[in-house]
Structure 1
């Protein structure tokens, strides 16, 4: 995942979006990207609401609705100052969406967030905000969707799934595809079935009252390949974009969650909780 993100950060122009509900760690992901880009040679400017972390060498500005300083007006003045990288805390309205796409078209790298449930869902959302599909296709570099799951404590219970439980889980995901991914990641042996794979449950104790401590992200990264660009220009639905991206090897959030659950980092219950919410 990190390699894909870093490849996209090396592109000098375009737009990278991070999507997810409130409190899913989107801003932290944006700051991590700025941290990678933050060298003395690169001019980085932000418009945020509020500024959550102060960062050296970065020109950070905070939205102030009382004086009419919004994401849109902030973005307008930033573009005139010729930054290399622009971070906009959130694309909330049509005007900000249009300005962000315009900034990406005129030689800037734009990083921002959107409220959508999946990576592919960002595209119809931008179209709802009156962005033209061919402009989205030519500016978008990638979309990252994420959720935060709780991490299991070191002391945890091992278990395997029963057939009935798997039947229930299969309503939310493609178990055959997940099994294939687990085998590719060497988390399952070539001939193992789903019922043979060991997963983990929380084991509440004095140190970890609920059996969990800390949180970790589960992600899906939609790279905007030539095929995906054609689909966007055609006005394809998010489902069509997602299924095409999966054929090209994109792992969905739930699949990334299953990988982290098989590694013993989190539990399947946690993964399903944050995806279904």
Structure 2
């Protein structure tokens, strides 16, 4: 690029089309100085405590210990000799000058100095001194620049390539960390090069329709995007942290294929139970498991099976993750009073056949759902419990009367998700005595020495992980006979478990070990998500 020696470095940058990082590259090349990136600034031992805040902000410099008796000074403007001389006086020796962008120095000073006395961020003060004002307009311009747009698009493309369900963007002391949740586990990926974390978060906020000027409070938003030819529903959650705002992006492909009960991974006898439960004219069916165990997918699959023109189906969810044609779906909005409980009250006046409640979280919602099931509706919902057996005691704890629960609870499905072995590279393995010595749970879950199972190896198809995709492991409890009597007598989970086993309950551990023997998953995965009981 052309340099006009009559202009300051700052004014040249403001008048050119280069990003802050690209401009700093040009400056370093022109003045033949070393180039420092934001991660390098954050990793360098800072010496900012020796300087006044005002001097650092006005000079836009970052002093650091270069090792031994050497001092380093990252500058955005190498022509500002006065600032360099001032730094040498304060430090008591010569400095080795390197080049960093205005924005990177602003971010590094913001981290090391903390907020100003008036509560404003240091990076705001640095950029407001003439580089890039921290106004809403300048943030929007920064976040809409080509490098940042490309960085966010590349992250989305990478997530689709890895089949990730979530993207975690986390500013840390030493720079930006990006992780993606693939098959239930987080995997670190390289962060975008030359992208200021603040600009990256601002770009994500713009896509999700959030307030880019608000950095003190959590924010939630949504968007519809396209990445690698795939249409996505995106949920964005922003959280302020010690080193800046973090963003979690949930990716929900709009075209998920046909939702089919036969594809959930149920054993034949459990599948028959589920089909019997959804054929009931009324009552309550509960799906249990922790967050991320596939409850929403199972609910959506059951709703798809129920979805016929002869039935009216209403749902209240937080958020709506699967859009199903022919079903009336609502999203909770606590800010205006639309909660699970208030929606349920309104639903019973809409003449529904089936009601789906995303989650029972409190006594009010539990009681309204029970009464909806009593009055001739089939109610599907979820609870956060460890096992299917624990659902009844949990509802009793929420204040549901035992005689009402006995009359309405028809079935409970407990589930987890395990990773599926890659068909191309999985290896056969015989269980040895060493395996039993290393983990006593092998014996507790019914395995024996010499039995054949499978383990992961890793290949190009599965990116060297050994797993590709996930499948559910289930336990399906039909509440009838002895089990119903136990519910009515408000017996504890241990008594319920004994009654359910006598009635033929197959536990999640049993299902997981059966899938291990079939080569679907590994013993390590089964033990990771289930417990023997």
TM-score (norm 1): 0.90
Tell me which residue corresponds to 2:430.
160
Deviations 1:8-51 (A, max 9, x none): 11110000000000010101000000000000001101111111
Tell me which residue corresponds to 1:202.
456
State the shift of 1:167 in Å. Answer: 6.2
Q: How far apart, in 2, do the equivalents of 1:7 and 1:34 lie?
A: 14
State the shift of 1:172 in Å. Answer: 7.8
State the shift of 1:160 in Å. Answer: 1.8
Query: What SS is found at the alignment partner of 1:15?
Result: strand
State the shift of 1:196 in Å. Answer: 2.8
Deviations 1:152-197 (A, max 9, x none): 001211112223534665548744xx46xxxxxxxxxxxxxx2232
Task: Say whether the 8 Å CA contact 1:173–1:254 is kept in structure 2.
Answer: no
State the shift of 1:271 in Å. Answer: 0.9
Task: Say whether the 8 Å CA contact 1:18–1:112 is kept in structure 2.
Answer: yes
Task: Say whether the 8 Å CA contact 2:436–2:443 is kept in structure 1.
Answer: no
Q: How far apart, in 1, do the equivalents of 2:397 and 2:481 lie?
A: 22
1:95 to 355, 364, 389: 364
Tell me which residue corresponds to 1:28.
297
Q: How far apart, in 2, do the equivalents of 1:169 and 1:9 lie?
A: 40
Q: How far apart, in 2, do the equivalents of 1:147 and 1:160 lie?
A: 26
Task: Say whether the 8 Å CA contact 1:150–1:215 is kept in structure 2.
Answer: yes
Q: Which runs of 5+ in 2 are unaligned?
A: 1-269
2:308 to 19, 34, 39: 39
State the shift of 1:139 in Å. Answer: 0.4
Query: What SS is found at the alignment partner of 2:329?
Result: strand
What does residue range 89-168 of structure 1 map to in structure 2 within 5 Å? 89-154=358-423, 155-163=425-433, 165-166=435-436
State the shift of 1:55 in Å. Answer: 1.0
Name the count of aligned residue pairs.
Answer: 260
**Cα 1:169/1:108, change in 2 over 3 Å:** farther
Q: How far apart, in 2, do the equivalents of 1:161 and 1:39 lie?
A: 48
Query: What SS is found at the alignment partner of 1:23?
Result: coil
Query: What SS is found at the alignment partner of 2:431?
Result: coil
Q: How far apart, in 2, do the equivalents of 1:100 and 1:63 lie?
A: 16
Tell me which residue corresponds to 1:216.
471
Q: How far apart, in 2, do the equivalents of 1:223 and 1:241 lie?
A: 12
Q: How far apart, in 1, do the equivalents of 2:454 and 2:406 lie?
A: 41
Q: How far apart, in 1, do the equivalents of 2:277 and 2:313 lie?
A: 16
Tell me which residue corresponds to 2:278.
9
State the shift of 1:207 in Å. Answer: 2.3
Query: What SS is found at the alignment partner of 1:159?
Result: strand
**Cα 1:98/1:246, change in 2 over 3 Å:** same
Task: Say whether the 8 Å CA contact 2:435–2:442 is kept in structure 1.
Answer: no
Query: What SS is found at the alignment partner of 1:147?
Result: strand
Task: Say whether the 8 Å CA contact 1:20–1:116 is kept in structure 2.
Answer: yes
Tell me which residue corresponds to 2:335.
66
Task: Say whether the 8 Å CA contact 2:432–2:450 is kept in structure 1.
Answer: no
Q: Kindly indicate whether residue 510 of structure 2 is the aligned counterpart of residue 236 of structure 1.
A: no
Tell me which residue corresponds to 1:246.
501
Q: How far apart, in 2, do the equivalents of 1:221 and 1:168 lie?
A: 31
State the shift of 1:244 in Å. Answer: 1.5
Q: Choose 1 or 2 for highest CA Rg.
A: 2
Tell me which residue corresponds to 2:510.
255
Give the root-mean-square deviation of aligned CA atoms. Answer: 1.5
Query: What SS is found at the alignment partner of 2:449?
Result: helix
2:350 to 57, 78, 81: 81
TM-score (norm 2): 0.47
State the shift of 1:239 in Å. Answer: 1.7
Deviations 1:218-250 (A, max 9, x none): 000111022111111111111211122112211
